[in-house]
Structure 1
Amino acid sequence: MFVLLWLAAVVMSAGHFATDVGWWQQSEVVSRAAATTATWAGVVVLARRAGGRFVVIGLFAAVVLALVVAFPEEWALAGAAVTAACVYGVLGMLLTRPAGGLRVLVELVVCVLVGVAGALVVSGYDVGLRPFRFRMLVLAMVFVAAFVLAWRLGHGVGSLGRRGLVLIIGGGLLVVASVAYTQAIREWGSPELVQGLVDAKTWVSTNLGAVPRPIEALVAFPALVWGVVVRSRRRQGWWMCALGSLGAAGVATSLVQPRISLAEGLTATGYDAFVGAVVGLLVVSIDRLLTRTGGRRAQTSTAALARPEPPRFAPLL
């Protein structure tokens, strides 16, 4: 029953998209009420999954979000939108389960769908936001929250190992470099360079229907695929999944730009997931080659190390 209420609230949050295409008519008040309900449901699920006192947290969140609906000031709606994007970004990591082989693609789809749900919820608040700052704020907050959870779930940095630590730091530096490059172009790029990049994005969007997002496609989703596979044997996989939470968070911020339609946003997310799956499976294959000890006995021993985790909506702690 709770899950059905959650899904209904997410769908109703996208009321203005339905109005634009003529599916049904829905007022702004209804969309915002649905968005706050979906945000509250996400907070409750996140608190329960993370092992927190979800009843107390749920009651507090209900009071705060009810005040947002009653007094829809711009700053309150913006804060609720940031909260929703962050909650669904972290949920994109926590709602996955260990998997191996092609089953890992199912977990990637789960993460992507959680991110899409977050994007619909954010759009339901219908508040004016600066897309770049909103995206950076959400990514930063999710990055911190996910790594704090990974510290608890992965039992500290000691479980990570030297190679895993190097790759995680490398992925984080790649994200920082991507953000810094984008900001540098925005602030100090010459008009010719900026126009050239705009023309390139326009060409890609015209020919492919959308522009893939590099952080999600090349860093976050591959890290999630790798982490889910590692989690089937060792807790250190949570560290990779923490980096993967940026994928769901990025998707959750994808519909903030007014010029981005729902179809274009979903198409870009599909490209991100496809590229991320390919790169992630490649990383998993390389990791297995580097860690292979050889022999049938070693393979049997590795299979015996498979570690179970609680069901998808059960507490992890």
Structure 2
Amino acid sequence: MKIRSLSGGRRAALFTAAALCLLPLGAQAQGSYPSKPVRLIVAYPAGGLTDTLARALADGLGKRLGQTLVVENKGGAGGIIGTDQAAKSPPDGYTLLLTIPGPITANLVLYKKLPYDPRTDLRPISDVATARTVLAVNTTVPVRTVSELIQYAKKEPGKLRMGSWGPGTQPHTIQTYMAKTYGVDILHVPYRGEGPMVTDLLAGQINVTVGSVTALQQHFAGGRLRPLAVAGSHRARALPNVPTFAEAGYPDEAYRLTGPITLMAPARTPQPIIDRLGREVSALVKSPEFSQRIEDMGAEPIGNLPAEAESAYKAYLPVVMKLTADTGVTLD
């Protein structure tokens, strides 16, 4: 049998191929990622802040990555359906989740058993923006301050119907907190998303909410809704004339809490992909044009990196869980 020796060039080529086979999957994925469209799940229907931001993010990030990002609205069950789908998707970087805090924080308290655990099934890529929320009423409600709203609720039990974009969300938590703290009768009316809730708020089917500045600011300008106070430690940039709850005389922690809208991926997504996405999102969000775009939505840009987003989540989680538990709200 005749044995043929390999040339130097062929030996080098085979050695390179073998070495590539031995590289971790994450390193190989980094070089070719993304090679096809990326799915971006939003766990709520179209029309709310998260959906609006997702579509802007998909456009900007898609251009930076050289691939299309397709937004998919998977609403229902307080964000559980879409979040679960994202958590159980292949960890290859081709399914991402853009979420408000509820599905990855409060739901751990609200539900005895979730089909996913955000602490182990998902990982943060970047906190894209802070969602600013505002207590607002239909102008048929004769109040202009938080104090007047509470007094009205006491004098007219059952007249206030507070809408939320789902059970366990911030409006629901605040409605429950107000009812327990001040002994007022406010009916909670849950919706499948913020879009449908705002439609009914304008029509008078509900008459009060804590909604995103994004969804409500145009109706303040048009005189159909009235802002009373913004949640958080400082005034919202988009509503500089509206006081915080603390400035209105209500410094309770329930009213100070604000949360990020976070881009996440399945937990076992390779680190190189997470790092690439984090860098691209951070650069996009911190660009003057996109930053202004977020502010025009009534939100405030963040654009941190994966390690920073993870650290923020770990610090934020116990605060939200305690606040949720203190309200006594449970959903199963």
Coarse TM-score class (shorter-chain normalised)? under 0.3
Structure with greater strand percent: 2
TM-score (norm 2): 0.24
Q: TM-score, normalised by structure 1?
A: 0.25
**Which structure has the greater CA radius of gyration?**
2
The structure with the largest helix share of the pair is 1
